[in-house]
Chains A and B, each alone.
Chain A
Amino acid sequence: MYVAVKGGERAIDNAHAWLAEERRGDARVRELSVAQIREQMTLAVNRVMAEGSLYDPDLAALAIKQARGDLIEAVFLIRAYRTTLPRFGASRPMDTAAMACDRRVSATFKDAPGGQVLGPTFDYTHRLLDFKLAADGEVPFAPELADAEPSKDTPHIMEFLDREGLMQRDTDGRTPPRDLTREPLELPATRDLRLQALTRGDEGFVLGMAYSTQRGYARNHAFVAELRIGKVAVEMDIPELGFAVEIGEVELTECETVNQFAGSKTEPPQFTRGYGLVFGMSERKAISMALVDRALRWEELGEDNLGAPAQDAEFVLYHADNIQATGFLEHIKLPHYVDFQSELELIRKLRREATADRGAHRAAAE
């Protein structure tokens, strides 16, 4: 319990003024612009959009600046802003097969139709600090393939396994998805809610859960059948018009994993999938999401519950949100004077009693 207390206004004002000064840092160093953060800290911006659950690079960049680079604080700012926006509606489900891919790789098929396209990846870099970046550098240049074909739809690699019937199919039952920002998350959570919770979940938490499945906590050996990153059109039905139009485009990372499945009472032996879809270029998060999605599907696939943390929907879904977690965690630093006073009283009383007891024993012994 905490009790309303008054006082400290001046201290709070001054603390905030100092925060602003510290945020700015050494005034002799040029101030960082929001555009610079948006363009040059793109992956941080992506993470804030994904976990803040709002696709708006300018706002995410502003939030990062305001939060002094504390990404969870930035996510908090975005979540708070998001609640002020009137909801105009929902997009049609985005068609990732029509993605203009910057990157597209498969770990299962070398000769995937459409090819293996590396894109602007950190893979194959040597992770050595590049001191050239510490100096004012030239604008780098990326080669373009002269006779590149215009981008066209890139078919999903999973389709090929689908055709052979080796793949458990996801089907569109046209069920309207539930929205955990509009109704509290209740268990058992259907897969639509689980995916929503995972895509906005904390990257570190989802990564840790995914890693646990790889280390053996839930038998779930995954291959990355396909990982793709690129721009996807956003289409929405416009009530004033009576038809759907494209209202923008977003960058997404999509990961489909293929997992062995020995079959169950109702399903023949086949491959199953895990699915990850995240705002921005967020490869680690998308792969993690796919692994955790797959682990959480044990019940619908008729697998055994091995008691692994990643199979426990309550554990995963109720702890993945870093804003909920931060809120509860950090509230313990707020005044709990009354709580603590009563604890103090209690411990003093217990000690008094214990001392009195010992005194009585001693007296009896003598």
Chain B
Amino acid sequence: MTVGPDEETRDRKTWMGILARAEAGDLARLWQDLGPAPAHDVLRAPEIGGIMLRGRMGAVGDAFNMGEMSVTRCSVRLANGPDGHAYVQGRSRTKALQAALVDALMQSGAADAVRTKLLSPLAEIEAKRRASRAAKAAATKVDFFTMVRGED
């Protein structure tokens, strides 16, 4: 099956999102399990900075600046070619480096193994966490009942 550029981009967006939202500890553990890091050059060493978060007036209108969020970014190049990039929330340099390496590996021959052993488990952890919160929220949903009024 051939994969179009749109689909490729969508796929990459998905895994970069999973990596960014993952807890640094979960990513580190699964990264260790994957074996030794592939040979690579660091194009941009992990760098901590901030980005300005924007909201919308009335949720739908023009943008306004809310405040910043800490972000760490990193770029790598594997010895066999592809570049990997990461922009991840927080200040973990390790997480940013690992996320960039995973991004690069996902564009290499190792993609399937990385998907099975690292991305899928991370996605599962996230899905479980979300489902648990959604189920707790659902348990606090109000069931209204209207009292029958005496007068007609």
Contacts and interface: CB of A to CB of B under 8 A. Distances in A.
A245 B13 contact: yes
A82 interface: yes
A247 B88 CA distance: 5
A94 interface: yes
Chain A interface size, as a band, is 35 or more
A277 B64 CA distance: 10
Interface in A243-267: 243-250, 252, 254, 256
A60 to B, nearest CB: 11
A115 B16 contact: no
Interface stretch (A1-9, A144-152, A317-325): A144-152
Contacts of B52: 87, 89-91, 179
A101 B49 contact: no
A195 B140 contact: no
A91 to B, nearest CB: 5
Interface in B47-70: 47-70
B142 to A, nearest CB: 4
Contacts of A303: none
Interface string A131-160: 000000000001111101111000010100
A144 B136 contact: yes
22 contacts: A52-B67, A55-B67, A56-B69, A87-B51, A96-B55, A110-B144, A143-B136, A145-B139, A145-B141, A148-B134, A148-B135, A151-B134, A171-B60, A172-B63, A177-B62, A177-B65, A191-B64, A195-B55, A233-B17, A245-B16, A248-B20, A248-B89
Interface of A: 49-50, 52-56, 58-59, 82, 85-94, 96-97, 100-103, 110-111, 115-120, 142-146, 148-151, 156, 158, 169-181, 191-193, 195-196, 199-200, 233-234, 236, 238, 240-241, 243-250, 252, 254, 256, 273, 275, 277, 279
